[in-house]
Amino acid sequence: MIATPNSMFVLRPAEMADLPQIETIAARSAIGITSLPPDQQRLIEKISSSRYAFSSEVDIPGEETYFFVLENTSTGEIIGTSGIAASAGFHDRFYSYRNEIIVHASQELRVSNKIHALHLCHDLTGFSLLTSFYIDPQFAESAMPQLLSRARLLYIAEHRRRFADKLAAENPGVCDAEGRSPFWDAVGRRFFNMEYPQAEQLSGGRSKTFIAELMPQYPIYVPLLPPAAQLAIGQLHPDGELPFSILIDEGFEPDIYIDIFDGGPTVEARVDTLRSIRQQRRLPARVYTSSQTEGAMKPNDGNATMLQALVSNTRADRFRATLATVRIAGDEAHIEADVAAAIDVADGEALRVVALEIAPGAD
């Protein structure tokens, strides 16, 4: 699955015709990514629910889930997936462990101890969730992961009423090749006579409430856990390092919450604080044909800026996003005709554009 010089990669809503390739991707995904289950019927339901969400008129975030695929349009191959759940815990509370410091003090002994504890909470209920990230390893070092992850934010920017004002994303925690999780073995397994992969399968990517309701409601004192479990708290599975790094660059906070199954970090942020949201612009497109492109794409005046950028249309249903060279001149975005065709944008229609390189200090 190698990109050719003429390859163009487009992020778009998943279709039922993509099912065979999505099944292959789900089988490759790490244990713990329950929003991409290796189960055909659940994947069919996921795609169907997503198609319904994209095509619906939505005024407030609810049970909608949006599922994207990243396609090499020259070959039809799917090289990645990502998604958004509009409202975490819409049907049930969304549980996490919150990292806390509990202070135990004795004035008589003049002793004060700060102890790391985990408190079961549902603080993130109602947040929108970024889910289902997978990129073909051949493209991990390319710009494709940026497109796969960050273009979702362009969709959120355009359709704000569909999503909450806060976002979260669960990241897979430490487990071995057989699916053994030191955090689960030390905590969850004490209350459930099942292995970690079985517990993940039962949760089905839908709700962890049935697990949380049987977990201890009082704080878990981290120093009482086995050393391996302590070390696993907030640590990433290797497959999660790439998407995690993209989210951290965006400005997500990684230190407050962890997953109740494997202890992996759950990041969260306000939408308006994210760098791609702050730096993106909504501009009318100026489209050039192949005969006009060479001259049109040159920054031939002092007010023009050339960008390697993520660009998307502004459609709710037929959303499309890709990577392209964009010339920003005044309040217009100049793009080549093949780019416009790929993202389904006509001359004069609005598009969203954000630079490929995030500017960390820019507002």
Decide: helix, strand or coil at residue 274.
coil
Predicted local distance difference test score (pLDDT) of residue 239: 86
Measure CA 6 to chain center. Answer: 28
In angstroms, the Cα distances linking 226 to 99, 118, 183, 261 are: 17, 14, 9, 16
Decide: helix, strand or coil at residue 16.
helix
Give me the helices (H) in the chain, please: 19-28, 40-55, 144-158, 182-186, 196-203, 209-212, 227-232, 241-250, 275-279, 290-296, 337-342
Sign of the alpha-carbon torsion through 16, 20, 25, 30:
positive
Do 9-95+122-275 and 280-355 show the same overall fold?
Answer: no
Residue 13 tokens read as: 């809503």
Pairwise CA distance, residues 103 & 113, whole Å = 6
pLDDT of 337 above 90? yes
Per-residue pLDDT of 141-154, as tens digits, reads: 999 999 999 999 99
Q: Choose among 317, 324, 300, 314: nearest CA to 345.
A: 314
Residue with the larger pLDDT of the pair 188 and 138: 138
pLDDT of 54 above 80? yes
- DSSP string covering 149-208: HHHHHHHHHHTGGGS-SEEEEE------TT---HHHHHTGGGTSSS-HHHHHHHHTTT--
Q: Where are the domains of the chain?
A: 9-95+122-275, 280-355
Token look-up 């249903």 returns 317
Just list the catalytic residues: 237
The topology under which CATH files domain 9-95+122-275 is Aminopeptidase (3.40.630)
Measure CA 217 to chain center. Answer: 29
pLDDT of 205 above 60? no
Reported confidence tier of residue 24, pLDDT bands at 50, 70, 90:
very high
The topology under which CATH files domain 280-355 is Barwin-like endoglucanases (2.40.40)
Per-residue pLDDT of 59-89, as tens digits, reads: 999 999 999 999 999 999 999 999 999 999 8
Spell out the residues 6+ positions from residue 200 whose beta carbon is closer than 8 angstroms to its own: 31, 32, 34, 261
Pairwise CA distance, residues 200 & 205, whole Å = 8
pLDDT of 334 above 80? yes
Predicted local distance difference test score (pLDDT) of residue 2: 43
Mean pLDDT value across the chain = 88
Pairwise CA distance, residues 79 & 144, whole Å = 9
Mean pLDDT across 208-219? 73
Pairwise CA distance, residues 104 & 112, whole Å = 6
Residue with the larger pLDDT of the pair 208 and 227: 227
Mean pLDDT across 144-169? 97
